[in-house]
Amino acid sequence: MRENKQRGEYLYYLLSLLTGLLISFMVLFNGGLTTQYGVYTATIIIHVAGLILIAVLTLIKREKPFLKRHIWFLYLGGAIGVFTTVFNNLAFGRISVSAILALGLLGQTVTGLFIDQFGLLGMRKHPVFKSKLTGLILIMGGIAAMIDNFEVVAVVVSFAAGINIVVSRTLNARLANLTSVSVSTFYNYLVGLVVSIPIFLLLGRGEPDFIGLVMTPRPHIYLGGILGVCIVFISNIIVVKISAFYLTLLVFIGQVFSGVIIDMVISQALSLRILLGGILVAAGLCINLIIDNSSFAVAKLDRD
């Protein structure tokens, strides 16, 4: 039985890595959309595309997302996700992309550790053992390797964006547990769109409005919203299955290494600093996973 559980966990680990891969392509497509239309207009397009897709899937499955209501804060995942985008946009241009990525990971790691240690937001406890200190040091070293410059506001909002990511996906997963993965994903995009519109009206005045939108000859840049649905959908499945700490690191590893490959293909450039940081984070994660498996093995022998 323990072996079946381990195989199930490995499947969720692979899905976490896949999520990181999808995020890299989503960022690539959304970046093209932002260049074409502007940050806030692109945010609305992304949410509209995602909402249409998940609404169709929900109708096909004959689910009724408005049939039953649950506690209000579980519906805030999509709203928090919008502010994650805004925070990242505020950081762009102030510090490097690698620093934003690293500080976001730091925010996610710290938040994941607190959620695991204390079972916050209704999640299952995954206590952090002192024996994992070596792995944590390597992970923090990987994060430090990717930070090359500081600016107070950008550092704070990048760290906050990382916190938002963990809180958003945790709330979405809690809602999915009470409803379904499809319904939770539907609300993520519906609430996200509702929040995106006033932000666009306040901050997107210099961007083209919907009346003046012209379709780009690069249709692939509209796929970001569709990939976003896939990412939220998968996250809703795996968040309640594995540690928030491990989920964060596995997604990050998938994102970093696929991002390095994408950069090599597009710009013919290789960032050794980002690669080194990713390797250190991956090494720290592997050490902690080995320690976890060893702990379970010892506990099983003691019971036998």
- Rounded to an integer, the average pLDDT of 279-286 is 84
For 216-231, b/e burial (b = at least 16 CB within 10 A) is eeeeebbbbbbbbbbb
**78-136, pLDDT tens digit by residue?**
999 888 877 877 776 677 766 777 788 888 888 888 887 777 777 777 666 666 677 77
pLDDT score for 2: 52
Given a cut of 60, is residue 1 above it in pLDDT?
Answer: no
Given a cut of 80, is residue 186 above it in pLDDT?
Answer: yes
pLDDT score for 299: 47
Given a cut of 90, is residue 188 above it in pLDDT?
Answer: yes
pLDDT score for 193: 94
Contact present, 34 and 232 (Cβ < 8 Å): no
Gap between the Cα atoms of 8 and 2, Å rounded: 10
pLDDT score for 38: 80
Gap between the Cα atoms of 30 and 50, Å rounded: 12
Q: What residues does each domain of the chain span? A: 20-63+71-303
Gap between the Cα atoms of 300 and 88, Å rounded: 45
The pTM of the full predicted model, rounded to 2 decimals, is 0.78
Gap between the Cα atoms of 264 and 285, Å rounded: 25
Tokens of 239: 């968040």
pLDDT score for 130: 63
Given a cut of 90, is residue 140 above it in pLDDT?
Answer: no
Mean predicted lDDT score pLDDT of the chain: 80
Tokens of 227: 């990939």
